[in-house]
Copies of this chain bind each other. A is one copy, B any other.
Amino acid sequence: MPQYKLTSVDFTSGRTELHDALNLSGAEISINLMPAGVSVPFVHAHKQNEEVYIVLEGKGTLYIDGEELPLKAGDCFRIDPRGERCITAAADSPIRFICVQTKQGSLEGFTMNDGVVSASKASWL
């Protein structure tokens, strides 16, 4: 069994979900392109999951618990499960973003305390 799975995504399509495409077990990740003037059609919260959004391109607005914040490329934000959220593209700009859903509190270690350097060498090392 290979220890990886790869798929290729068309970033110009509306929404691609990676959980099933990559058999993920720690996250759902979606890659989203919303045209100018288009909104997620409802406000939503979560039961267990923390969400992280990364705005790759464009402009829009985040509704979060009654506040409304302008969004631009480079903005990255965490929303706790109970946060009531909605994203819209700006009237005059699409917005492209990645959303990462994980179980709140699930990460134990990372990077320096979860990574292990290997003695294997890639051909270019």
Contact = CB atoms under 8 A, between A and B. Distances in A.
A56 to B, nearest CB: 7
Contacts of A31: 54, 76
Given A25-B104, A29-B54, A108-B103, A6 B44 contact: no
Contacts of A27: 26-27, 50, 52, 100, 102, 107
Of the four ranges (under 10, 10 to 19, 20 to 34, 35 or more), the interface on chain A belongs to 35 or more
Contacts of A69: 6
Given A22-B52, A26-B104, A49-B115, 7 more contacts: A4-B80, A24-B52, A27-B50, A43-B120, A44-B116, A45-B116, A86-B122
- Cβ-closest 7 pairs across A and B: A26-B102, A3-B83, A63-B122, A106-B106, A28-B110, A6-B77, A22-B78
